Structures are given as structure tokens and as C-alpha cells.
Homo-oligomer: A and B are copies of this chain.
């Protein structure tokens, strides 16, 4: 089971094809300037980049993460962990990874003896994040794990504890926190230029097709659309408000007898209350394709992102005084920025912007969303 996800076709494939050239050109220019200003070391000189092992070679790793290393300043891929030796060998050749640094899930722990690996990036199904993160810490490595951090708050806590015990960094891959559009949205939302925020709308939907994929298995995914899709809406409400929700409402619906949804939910709409009075209305769906979308509404205007949280081609619109204005920002690679942030934190012994505690917070709130939907009561946090 643990390898099957690596062969899946996912939505990530479809949105991976657009705008690569533009992104690469843009990033190269920006980074060359930054490199010239900040560091004497040449981009590829030994020691200027930390070594990364990618655990799990599914679509996300193949189409986004591995290509993103080309633009990294502080990160290079030095190892691969996969249940498919042929695929791993091919990718190792493509990305210049030494064949001796290819691992499988059985000999994964021996990565502790490999000094070329500083950081492990867990790109496995959600239910496997805890185990492979903890084993990564036990091997003495730092860990970046995909989101959701784990299936349960308990597992998140175990991962945090394991990192502390090992004296290693733990970061959750909330890539939107590292890319220019969402960073600018956060700046505007928190700046007060739209007046105090009153309401946040955040929506995300993706129509799943293959009923056999791991995202639809409770033990591997932890839940349905909420864990995979709704987490973006939840994150957006949290990072745009810069507050933690105190109350949660939810309604859930799953099409009866749909072969896709034997174990996990299809649609879940949830509401959040924040301490300052901000209210958020959020949606999450595996039933329809909707562009990721959010709107932050202040007393003086509003800001909209659509698409808001996909890998590229994000769009921002700001509305004030009756005028809607589109804002364009550099389209940098989210994964490049995210991985270099992690490398920098390790190099400089800094806490990541999105540490394990951030992943734990989302898990606790998501459990409250499920509880509110189940009980028909507002859950207080």
C-alpha cells in the first residue's frame, strides 16, 4: 500500500505544465542578483547547499519538487527514497543523484550513515508522515513534511517531540506562506489598509475521479476533502487574520453510494470565529473542481485571490473606493522558496516559519470541524 500512491495520476500533473519557462527565467534573475549581493560563494560551490532526500516519488515529487531544486540557492537533492527502484534510478540519473543514495522503505533508516543528506522531505500519504518523520529524526536528519502534518493531533505531537529529542528542525510544507502572492495578501490583510477585517471567505474544491487512490482511504489520508483541500481554506483564514479561531461550525455531505466515498467525506463547509470578531466561511470539496479562492473583506475594501493556492498563475485583485485593481507579482516557484527556507533555518539554526506546532494547530481545528459537523453544535476551541 505504501508505494501505490507513487504511480497515481493526480491533479498536480495538470497544473504543473503552465508557465514553467517564465517562472524559471524570473527566478534565475532574482536569485542571481540576490546571490551576488548576499554571498560570495558561487551558486554551486560545495557547502553552499544542504543535501535533501526526497521520500516518496509520486506526482508531487516528480512534477514539482525535483524540478524545483534547479532554482534553489541553498538546497540540492542528494538522495531518493522509493519503493520503485526503476523509477528511482531514472530520476536519480535525471537529477544527478548518486545511485548509492537511493533507498527503499526497508533500508530507509540507514540514511543516518549518509553525510550527504541533511534534510528529509516526506512526500508520502498523510498517514505515513508521522512514522517516516520520526524515523528521519532518529537518523539524525532535519525533516520537512507535507501537509496535513499527520492524521491526528497525537501523531503531530509525537513528531514534534521526536524532533526536539533529536535536536533537529521540523517544518510543515505550507508552501503558500513562502510565495509572493500569499505573502502580499497577508501583508495587505494585516496592514489595516482595507480597514479592520470583518469576514474571510475561503473555498477549495477538487473533483476526485480515481476511486482507488490513497486520498480516499481513511488510514492513509486521515479524512476526506477537509484534510487535503479544506486545509488550504483553514490555513488562509488563519494566516490572513493572524488569529486563532475560538469557535467552529460545520455541515458535511457525501453523495450516498458513491464508490469514491466509502471511507471519507466529500464536502464539508465550515465557519470560524476569531477573537477580534472576524468570521470566516469556508468550503472544502472532493465533488467539484473549483479554483482555490479567498476573499478578505475589511470595512474599507476587499482583497481577492483566485486561484489562491495552486502552484502557479495566482491572481490577486484589490477592491477599494469602487475600483478593482489587479496586482501582479513575481511568479516564483513555491517549492524552491519553501525548501530554501528550510535549508536556511538549518544553516542558521532558526525556527521555520511553519514549524510542527503550526501543523498541530491545523489538525486540532480540523478535528473540531469534524466534531461540529457530527454533533450539530458549535465547538469551542
> Which residues of A pack against B, CB within 8 Å?
195, 198-199, 201, 203, 205, 207, 247, 249-251, 253, 255, 267, 269, 271-273, 277-283, 285, 287-288, 290, 297-300, 302, 376-378
Which B residues touch A297, using CB under 8 A?
Answer: 205, 285, 288, 290
Contact A269 B199 (CB under 8 A): yes
Complex A-B, nearest 8 residue pairs according to Cβ-Cβ distance, in ascending order = A376-B378, A249-B249, A281-B281, A253-B277, A269-B279, A198-B287, A269-B281, A251-B279
Which B residues touch A205, using CB under 8 A?
Answer: 199, 297
Contact A290 B277 (CB under 8 A): no
CA distance A346 to B277 in the complex (A): 48
CA distance A126 to B378 in the complex (A): 31
A249 in contact with B251 given A267-B199, A299-B287 (CB within 8 Å): yes
Which B residues touch A201, using CB under 8 A?
Answer: 201, 203, 281, 283
A288 in contact with B376 given A205-B297, A279-B269, A281-B283 (CB within 8 Å): no
At the interface, is chain A mostly helix, strand, loop or mixed? strand
Instruction: Known A-B contacts: A199-B205, A247-B251, A285-B297. Give 11 more (CB < 8 A).
Output: A195-B288, A198-B253, A198-B288, A199-B283, A199-B290, A201-B201, A251-B273, A251-B279, A251-B378, A253-B279, A377-B378
Contact B273 A199 (CB under 8 A): no
Which B residues touch A195, using CB under 8 A?
Answer: 288
* Chain B CB within 10 Å, residue with most, of A267, A281, A298: A281
